[in-house]
Amino acid sequence: MDAARKLIAERDRSRGLLIAFEGPDGSGKTTQRKLLARWLESRDHQVVSTRWASSALVKPLLKVRKKIRTLSTEEYSLLHAVDFRHRVETSILPALWAGKTVLADRYLFTALARDAARGLDLDWLLNAYSPLLWPDLVLYFSMTPEASRRRIASTRAPHFYEAGQDVTGMEDPLASYSRFIDRVVKEYNNLSVVFQFVTVDAGEAVYRQHMQVRQFVERAEKRPWSAFSEDAVREWLTKANIGAA
Amino acid sequence: MADKSEYRGRLIAIDGSRGKDTNAAAAALIEALKAKRVECALSRFDASGLFGELAAATRGDRQISARTLTLVYAADLAFRLRWEIRPVLEAGGVVIASPYVETAVAFGIACELRDEWIRELLRFAPKPSLRARAEERKINKGWKPRLDRGYAEYCAAMLEASSPRLASKAARREAVALLNRPRGRKVFRLSDKGVDALVKALTGSLRAAPNRSASKPRSARR
């Protein structure tokens, strides 16, 4: 066993848990993520939350390009991959390594579902996001496209890319969203089978969902880094100059 | 994802281990084509402005990896293809892409990324009609970390703190060796003679097949 592999296997025992929150817009992921963070903190866990497209590096680049609607499907996808990779290397992995629990408000499955719904090839997307850092638990807040549309319509008009107007070509954001979210939910449902998501019914009352989430987290087992995520961790160790990697 | 369109125009890819050399090679080729009355467009590194904005955003705190920079390169290339390269190809013109895919592959491998990962990432880029290599200068030196020269020099500057090996001669030699590796198709060396040979090949191909059918617009999977 080489030194890096040994180090990774040893750290697997003390590292934190990586929990991903996935689901369509309006499914209540952020509410549940906040409730879980509070509950875990009350039990003396150190918790780090990370949100989609939030890295200090990429957020400004993405924001301005989204605003002026200049991104092609590939550019949109690749800039999210840049953001994701940067967060994995600078915030998610360091926190896990230090034993903290990481709650990811959307993870790479968001990119897979949205970008596949935009017509990009799933194999190409998986390659762009590799080497993969597997979450230990994926909580999928499941709801119908119609329910997602209703919830979004009751609060705001969806943004251009959120509504998928770049691919539907429709002028009305809500009409576009209705069509686009249908594809996204289909992709999510396929992914949930392949990647073994744990499903939470997003139509349930918030508290009941939270109780369910607690149970899933209490029962969650680590996906060993050495079996699932060794390449990603090893690359980060080398870059961060940790140990003999 | 892979772009297999049959374009009317011609795409010339110039790759090399240093931006300074690929820029000089592209300028020499444009001059030579002008002399033959062949108009051409040029697509250069960072047309999207992403790299420039990234450098400004990371000033003082450059925690960025070679993999992240390769993803940015792919995003920049997607931008260049959409605005600078495909429109010219669809209109039947000539466009020089300097740098193109091989530069990113060679530099990525020198940074210990896998060849297959980079090629799969960049597979949306159409195959060039003609491939060329910039003449390598100062071959016994590593990359000079500079943000304003080209991709390799930019990466050397961004990765200076985390990967000091990159500025070494060995890393550059590795990139040059990878660029020199034969990959089945003829690669023109852009020395004086090489420029002439490339111009001849291009004008010959323009005469031989001036009216190839226009490409079909790309469409989404469903």
| Pairwise CA distance, residues B85 & B79, whole Å | 9
The residue type of A206 is V
Give domain status of residue B221, yes or no: no
- H or E, element range at A21: strand A18-22
Tracing tokens 């992921």 back to the chain, one arrives at: A29
Chain A: closest CA distance from residue B33 (Å): 32
pLDDT in tens, A114-144: 999 999 999 999 999 999 999 999 999 999 9
Give domain status of residue B208, yes or no: no
Over pLDDT 90: what percentage of chain B? 64
Q: What is the domain extent for residue A115?
A: 3-239
Residue A243, pLDDT score: 64
Residues in chain B within 8 Å Cβ distance of A118: 220
Total domains, chain B: 1
> What is the arithmetic mean of pLDDT over A50-68?
94
pLDDT at residue A245 above 90?
Answer: no
User: Strand locations in chain B, DSSP E?
Assistant: 10-15, 40-44, 94-98, 130-133, 187-189
Inter-chain residue contact A119 with B222, CB threshold 8 Å: yes
Angle value at C-alpha A217, between A212 and A221, nearest 5 degrees: 135
pLDDT in tens, B32-66: 999 999 999 999 999 999 999 999 988 767 789 99
pLDDT at residue B166 above 90?
Answer: no
Q: What is the CATH number of the domain that holds A179?
A: 3.40.50.300
Chain B: closest CA distance from residue A197 (Å): 25
Among A80-89, B189-198, B203-212, the range of highest mean pLDDT? A80-89
pLDDT at residue B77 above 70?
Answer: yes
> What is the pTM (predicted TM-score) of this model?
0.94
> What is the arithmetic mean of pLDDT over B117-133?
96
Inter-chain residue contact A118 with B220, CB threshold 8 Å: yes
Chain A: closest CA distance from residue B1 (Å): 6
Give domain status of residue B222, yes or no: no
Task: Report, in angstroms and rounded to the nearest whole number, the Rg of chain A calculated over CA atoms.
Answer: 18
Could you tell me if A206 lies within 8 Å of chain B, comparing CB atoms? no
Whether the complex's predicted ipTM is more than 0.85 is answered with yes
Residues in chain B within 8 Å Cβ distance of A56: 57
- Give the 3-state secondary structure of residue A183: helix
Angle value at C-alpha A50, between A44 and A56, nearest 5 degrees: 130
Please tell me which residue, A11 or B139, carries the higher pLDDT value. A11
The minimal CB distance from A78 to the residues B65, B74, B120 is found for: B74
Give domain status of residue B126, yes or no: yes
Total domains, chain A: 1
- Band the pLDDT of B220: cuts 50, 70, 90: very low
Q: Which of A7-16, A209-218, B3-12 has the lowest mean pLDDT?
A: B3-12
Using CA atoms, how far residue B204 sits from B10, B93, B143, B198, B208, in Å, is 12, 14, 37, 10, 6
CB B13, CB B97: distance < 8 Å: yes
Q: What is the domain extent for residue B184?
A: 10-203
Give domain status of residue B216, yes or no: no
- Give the 3-state secondary structure of residue B95: strand
- Give which of B1, B112, B122 to mutate to test A binding, by max A Cβ within 10 Å: B1
> What is the arithmetic mean of pLDDT over B147-158?
92
pLDDT in tens, A197-206: 999 999 999 9
Give domain status of residue B81, yes or no: yes
Of A142, A136, A106, give the one whose Cα is nearest residue A22. Answer: A106
Tracing tokens 């209540």 back to the chain, one arrives at: A28
Over pLDDT 70: what percentage of chain A? 98
CB A93, CB A238: distance < 8 Å: no
Q: What is the CATH number of the domain that holds B48?
A: 3.40.50.300
Give domain status of residue A245, yes or no: no
- Residue A52 backbone zone (phi > 0: left; psi -120 to 50: alpha; other: beta): beta
Tracing tokens 């875990």 back to the chain, one arrives at: A40
Give the dihedral sign, CA A161/A135/A123/B78: positive
Residues in chain A within 8 Å Cβ distance of B48: 75
DSSP class of B84: I
